[in-house]
Amino acid sequence: MRKLTFGLMFLVLVAVASGCAPQKKAMYYWDGYSKSLYEYKKSPSDETFAKHVESLQNIIKYSTENNMKVPPGVYAEMGYYMLVAKKPDEATKFFKLESQNFTESTIFMEKLIETAKQNDKPKPTKTGEAQ
Amino acid sequence: MKKYRLLFLLVGAVFVISACGPKIITKKEAFPGMYARKINSILVVPPINVTTAADASEYYSATIAEPASFTGYYIYPIEVVNAVFKKEGMADSALLLKAPPKKFREHFGADAVLFITITKWNTAYFVIGGNVQVGMEYRLVSTETGEVLWKYNENLVVDTSGGRGGGIAGLVLKIVETAIKTATTDYVPIAHRVNVMALSTMPYGQYNEAYMKDQDAKVVNEDKIKDQPPKQE
């Protein structure tokens, strides 16, 4: 009898607890983003970098498959890595995606697209950016 | 009868606790400017690190994108923004604090800038225990008017003391356990939680379902929005 009472109490508790939790759909899907980025920062290597890029790709894949908005900055970060890897066309593609996903980013993305274009041309000489 | 007495005591205790606790106010009371301005985008600049842990800024940056996005504002790509500032020689953003806020609107299109100061990032050992502490100060500044729209001071102390044991042997074991636990406790999940705790007091932005519906949310600890004693400002 005692066991039964306990069981019942437990059930009630679970019901109450789950009732309190918000049942709304998650806003964004982030996969293992924070962890993979931290691992990459802690010990930068091809391997940790590849893991982090994989996180970004997973985020994009999962979000688009589930009709969720890709979280802010994810396309842009992919674009930035493409820029560093000297793939300006790929970079531009991602910067445009960020801009479409969040129009707030447009001013910044246009600047990055401009940088990508300049990287595309053969560099004459290395000059410091004049402000 | 005994049962009732216990219940009574418990209720009494709850009352006492709630009466003595810090004053909790609503989001609207704490941050009226945020509802008036209706901002859409936030630029998180590289953190200002006032601790002695040199790598804190770099690691901390990995913990903010995710919780910040859930506030419902557009958050500029943190890694990309950091790289841009680094290129401009502004990696540690004490310099950015001095820049006119309007500049951030011009260069990024941002409605507000979030300045974060890392105030604690350390481990502490005492005779038979230890802990890991992470503390942050947040200030969100309008790029239009320069006013502070939201601010919060939050910190978390995680106890890393070893298990209890009796006698000298138990004590030694406890010290060793504490040392191991303290050394291996990761700052990152703690920093992540500090971010979540602080950001939950920020009025939500347009991409969050609760946008403009959270004015009456009683979640702001009044003690934590008070300015800290001035340091260099």
Inside any domain, residue A17: no
Judge whether B78 is closer than 8 Å to chain A, CB to CB: yes
pLDDT for res A22: 47
Q: Using CB atoms, pick whichever of A28, A34, A76 lies closest to residue B77.
A: A76
Query: Are residue A67 and residue A77 in the same domain, yes or no?
Result: no
Inside any domain, residue B10: no
Query: Are residue A66 and residue A96 in the same domain, yes or no?
Result: no
Range of the domain at B198: 23-120+131-155+187-216
Inside any domain, residue B13: no
Inside any domain, residue A40: yes
- The type of residue at A76 is A
Query: Are residue A76 and residue A116 in the same domain, yes or no?
Result: yes
Inside any domain, residue B42: yes
Inside any domain, residue A97: yes
Inside any domain, residue A63: yes
For B142-168, how does the pLDDT look when each residue is reduced to its tens digit (9 = 90+)? 999 999 999 999 999 988 887 766 777
Inside any domain, residue A21: no
pLDDT for res A6: 57
CATH number of the structural domain spanning residue B102: 3.40.50.10610
SS3 category, A119 = helix
Total of domains in chain B: 1
Share of chain B above pLDDT 90, in %: 60
Inside any domain, residue B5: no
Inside any domain, residue B33: yes
Q: Terminus-to-terminus CA distance in chain A, angstroms?
A: 80
pLDDT for res A131: 38
What residue of B is the nearest CA neighbor of A109? B108
Inside any domain, residue A82: yes
Inside any domain, residue B203: yes
Asked if pLDDT for residue B233 goes beyond 50, the answer is no
Cβ contact A77–B80 (<8 Å)? yes
Query: Are residue A87 and residue A115 in the same domain, yes or no?
Result: yes
Inside any domain, residue A2: no
Helices (H) and strands (E) in chain A, counts: 6, 0
Q: What is the mean pLDDT of chain B?
A: 86
The token pair that represents B53 in the structure block: 């842990």
Total of domains in chain A: 2
Residue B144: other Cβ atoms inside 10 A: 13
Cβ contact B107–A77 (<8 Å)? no
Inside any domain, residue B221: no
For B66-97, how does the pLDDT look when each residue is reduced to its tens digit (9 = 90+)? 999 999 999 999 999 999 998 888 766 678 88
Query: Are residue A86 and residue A97 in the same domain, yes or no?
Result: yes
Cβ contact B69–A111 (<8 Å)? no
Inside any domain, residue A9: no
Residues 6+ apart with CB under 8 A from A115: A83
Please check whether residue B164 is in contact with residue B174, taking contact to mean a CB–CB distance below 8 angstroms.
yes
- From the candidates B45, B76, B134, which should be mutated to test the interface with A, based on the most A CB atoms within 10 A? B76
Range of the domain at A60: 27-71
Query: Are residue A61 and residue A39 in the same domain, yes or no?
Result: yes
Judge whether A126 is closer than 8 Å to chain B, CB to CB: no
Judge whether A30 is closer than 8 Å to chain B, CB to CB: yes
Judge whether A38 is closer than 8 Å to chain B, CB to CB: yes
Provide mean pLDDT across the span A78-99.
97
Give, for B171, the enclosing helix (H) or strand (E): helix B167-184
Inside any domain, residue B164: no
SS3 category, B138 = strand
Judge whether A101 is closer than 8 Å to chain B, CB to CB: no
